[in-house]
């Protein structure tokens, strides 16, 4: 059966403060560790009232410490916000502490607005424009130690020096990252849950153009999808109303905490709002487990992912846990002894 993983944004709701959202992430990680999910990735977002975690590396350490089997990683570290040496050191530390269980997912977007991005980077350097490739190259050099002769970084060692970087994954929502991941021979994860680019095109492009490398001999493509599952289609649709209103607000630039079902049902939607929600539903799979599998099947068959990474954003934490449990059962995951 298709392996399943989790993408977690540590979602803040109107009834859940950020500190509680972070603790809910740890609780969910324990839960899915026992259900047989293979990865648990944390995102990096800044200055968003709807997302509690701006530091995936901190959360990775906390979650890896309370789980036994699941790989824990970043989905992702927004590399333009960080000095590559800092990323190398932190993820080598995580790999040293939890060997064989850490993933380093990298993104090229800021994960925030322009002013916050400037605040994050203003003390780093003065490079302008998209310098993702430059930063990625430098990060790789901290691992390979292939700086040019006479380069000052030859005298700098990313510690701990007895530990390799964990596997690197490039994240994307367009054809740019699929092409780059194929060229450098790294894993690729596509964000279907918010991408406007065609997931099938990106996934097939990556697989067809993949070049084996020291990082990975064969391609591995992860498809990230938004899913809400419940015992019945009706219950799942009710849970999804929170997502619908939240997405509608995001499209207007309002990154507010996730509303309750009651708030979503009482909202005075216009015809234009309902049309926008219907369009956004193309990125969300809702229903009982059988319904969700049926809806996912054409996308899976066409894009041929090696793994599905599921993001479930619902107001109630227990409903969220149940959604992942129902999906695990439907996909035939093997339960393990959780931490």
In a domain, 164, yes or no: yes
In a domain, 123, yes or no: yes
Q: Pick from 35, 15, 25, 12: which is nearest to 325 by CA?
A: 35
**pLDDT at res. 131:** 85
3-class DSSP assignment, residue 164: coil
**pLDDT at res. 124:** 60
As a whole number, mean pLDDT of residues 303-326 equals 98
**pLDDT at res. 266:** 98
Beta bridge partners of 190: 172, 223
Question: What's the whole-number average pLDDT of the chain?
Answer: 94
Under a CB-based contact definition with an 8 Å cutoff, are residues 102 and 64 in contact? yes
In a domain, 337, yes or no: no
3-state secondary structure 205-250: HHHHHCCCCCCCCCCCEEEEEEEEECCCHHHHHHHHHHHHHHHHHH
As a whole number, mean pLDDT of residues 147-154 equals 94
In a domain, 185, yes or no: yes
DSSP string, 79-132: GGGS-HHHHHHHHHHHHHHSTT-EEEEEE-S-SS-HHHHHHHHTTT----S--H
**pLDDT at res. 95:** 98
Instruction: Give residue 196's pLDDT band: very low, low, confident or very high (50, 70, 90).
Output: confident
**CA-CA distance, 14 to 260, in Å (whole number)?**
7
Model confidence at 115: pLDDT above 90: no
Instruction: Give tens-digit pLDDT for 68-90.
Output: 999 999 999 999 999 999 999 99
In a domain, 338, yes or no: no
Instruction: Give tens-digit pLDDT for 151-172.
Output: 999 999 999 999 999 999 999 9
- From the number of C-beta atoms within 10 Å of its C-beta (0-12, 13-18, 19+), residue 236 rates as buried
Instruction: Give the single-character DSSP code of 282.
Output: G
Four-CA torsion 230, 232, 237, 242, nearest 10 degrees: -30
**pLDDT at res. 119:** 80
In a domain, 21, yes or no: yes
What is the extent of the structural domain holding 127? Answer: 4-331
- From the number of C-beta atoms within 10 Å of its C-beta (0-12, 13-18, 19+), residue 122 rates as exposed
Instruction: Give residue 67's pLDDT band: very low, low, confident or very high (50, 70, 90).
Output: very high
As a whole number, mean pLDDT of residues 187-202 equals 94
299 CB-near residues (< 8 Å, 6+ apart): 192, 199, 200, 223, 225
Q: Pick from 151, 121, 120: which is nearest to 137 by CA?
A: 151
3-class DSSP assignment, residue 170: strand
Model confidence at 120: pLDDT above 80: no
Task: Express as a percent the part of the chain with pLDDT over 70.
Answer: 97
Q: How distant, in Å, are the alpha carbons of 15, 79, 82, 289 from that of 18?
A: 10, 24, 23, 30
CATH of the domain at 59: 3.20.20.30
pTM recorded for the entire structure: 0.94
**pLDDT at res. 123:** 61
Number of domains composing the chain: 1
The angle that helices 271-280 and 233-251 make with each other, rounded to 10 degrees, is 110
Instruction: Give residue 118's pLDDT band: very low, low, confident or very high (50, 70, 90).
Output: confident
Instruction: Give residue 111's pLDDT band: very low, low, confident or very high (50, 70, 90).
Output: confident
In a domain, 339, yes or no: no
Q: How distant, in Å, are the alpha carbons of 59, 144, 271 from that of 252?
A: 29, 44, 16
Instruction: Give residue 338's pLDDT band: very low, low, confident or very high (50, 70, 90).
Output: low
């Amino acid at each position: 059966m298709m392996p399943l993983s989790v993408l977690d944004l540590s979602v803040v709701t109107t009834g859940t403060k950020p500190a509680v959202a972070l603790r809910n992430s740890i609780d969910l990680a324990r839960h899915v560790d026992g259900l047989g999910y293979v990865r648990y990735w944390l995102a990096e977002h800044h200055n968003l009232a709807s997302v509690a975690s701006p530091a995936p590396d901190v959360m990775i350490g906390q979650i890896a410490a309370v789980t036994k089997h699941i790989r824990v990683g970043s989905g992702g570290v927004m590399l333009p916000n960080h000095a590559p040496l800092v990323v190398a050191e932190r993820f080598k530390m995580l790999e040293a502490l939890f060997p064989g269980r850490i993933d380093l997912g990298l993104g090229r977007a800021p994960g925030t607005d322009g002013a916050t991005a400037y605040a994050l980077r203003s003390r780093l350097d003065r490079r302008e424009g998209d310098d993702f490739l430059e930063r990625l190259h430098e990060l790789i050099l901290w691992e390979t130690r292939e700086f040019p002769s006479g380069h000052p970084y030859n005298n700098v060692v990313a510690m701990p020096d007895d530990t390799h970087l964990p596997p690197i994954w490039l994240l994307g929502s367009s054809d740019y990252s699929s092409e780059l991941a194929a060229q450098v021979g790294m894993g690729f994860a596509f964000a279907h849950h918010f991408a406007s680019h065609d997931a099938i095109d990106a996934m097939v492009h990556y697989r067809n153009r993949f070049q084996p490398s020291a990082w990975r001999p064969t391609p591995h493509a992860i498809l990230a999808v938004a899913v809400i599952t419940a015992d019945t289609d009706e219950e799942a649709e009710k849970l999804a109303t929170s997502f619908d209103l939240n997405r509608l607000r995001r499209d207007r630039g309002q990154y507010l905490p996730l509303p309750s079902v009651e708030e979503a049902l009482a909202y005075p939607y216009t015809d234009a709002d309902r049309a926008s929600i219907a369009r956004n539903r193309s990125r969300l799979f809702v229903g009982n487990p059988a319904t969700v599998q049926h809806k996912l099947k054409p996308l899976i068959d066409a894009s041929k992912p090696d793994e599905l990474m599921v993001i479930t954003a619902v107001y109630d934490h227990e409903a969220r846990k149940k959604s992942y449990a129902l999906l695990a059962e439907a996909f035939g995951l093997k339960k393990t002894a959780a931490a």
